[in-house]
Structure 1
Amino acid sequence: MSNSLDPQQIRTIQQYDAQQRYHYLLKEVINNAQIWLLVDEHGCVMLNTEEEDCVPVWPNKEFAQAWATEEWSHCKAEAISLEKWHNRWTHGLEEDELAVVVFPDQNNEGLIFFPDEFDYELHQQAKKSAAKKQR
């Protein structure tokens, strides 16, 4: 499971650009075998762009919980196991024609992926991590 981040680590990571946050998320999700969402009684929080309806995902509880303000103050951070993500979420998001916005910052900016693309990237990161552990 994930380790808590100290305030300095959180501040440092929050300064990352979208690409750096994306790479950080991939590593954290694979290392911790979980991905974080914000949820309420109706389901997960969604963000909308001009082209896509997106489900935001975060690498750690602290970053997801930081979004639980204002209109989402009633939401809570919830971890989804990586296995459940691969087995249910990817397919469900595709069926619902939803995209994934990876680790959005406080300005709602993050990289957007189709669910199958994001799933592929997670699998690629898992292969890289496994190869490093074998060395």
Structure 2
Amino acid sequence: MNLKQFNAIVSRPADLRYDYFVKKTANTQMLWGLYNEGWAMTTAPDGSALLPLWPEDEFALHCAIDEWNGYTSRPLDLHAFMEKILPKLEQDGVRTAIFYNNSDSAIVGAGKLLEDLKAALARS
């Protein structure tokens, strides 16, 4: 992906970045997080825990600054994520911060993300 394409995608509103994330993740069967002796986490304005996730390596690395300086991008297999991680997040009350761009993200419950990913997989 060239810089122009990268900037066009990363500058979209959070809801459109979420749609891109769901489609891209269903297509590639992979998603990305940031990792450094544990997965990068953040908090919502209400103080609840969020797991940030990205559709591609480049977008995750773009956010490896400030509190995530020193983190590296790490891939996650979509099916394992859907089967093991999303149910655990739902159980623990942890939501997801989808496609953070160093400004904002789509904050989505794990159950909703699971539904959307299943629907996208059914369409692909």
1:23 aligns with 2:19: yes
Flag as ranges the 4+ runs of structure 1 deviating above 3 A: none
Residue 31 of structure 2 contacts residue 78 of structure 2 at CA under 8 Å; is this kept in 1? Answer: yes
1:93 aligns with 2:89: yes
Question: TM-score, with normalisation over the residues of structure 2?
Answer: 0.93
- Equivalents in 2 of 1:75, 1:14: separation in Å? 19
SS in structure 1 of the partner of residue 52 of structure 2: strand
Displacement of 1:70 after TM fit? 2.3
Structure 1 portions without partners, runs of 5+? 130-135
Question: TM-score, with normalisation over the residues of structure 1?
Answer: 0.86
> Which of 34, 38, 46 is 2:41 aligned to?
46
Instruction: Please name the residue that 2:109 is paired with.
Output: 114
Instruction: Please name the residue that 2:78 is paired with.
Output: 82
CA deviation profile, 1:75-134 (whole Å, cap 9, x unmatched): 110110001111111122123221011111211x111111111001000111122xxxxx
User: CA RMSD of the aligned region, Å?
Assistant: 1.1
Instruction: Please name the residue that 1:133 is paired with.
Output: none
- Equivalents in 1 of 2:111, 2:78: separation in Å? 14
Displacement of 1:25 after TM fit? 0.6
1:60 aligns with 2:56: yes
Identity of aligned residues (%): 24
What is the aligned length? Answer: 123
1:126 aligns with 2:95: no
Instruction: Please name the residue that 1:132 is paired with.
Output: none
The one-letter code sitting in structure 1 at the alignment partner of 2:76 is I
Residue 64 of structure 2 contacts residue 72 of structure 2 at CA under 8 Å; is this kept in 1? Answer: yes
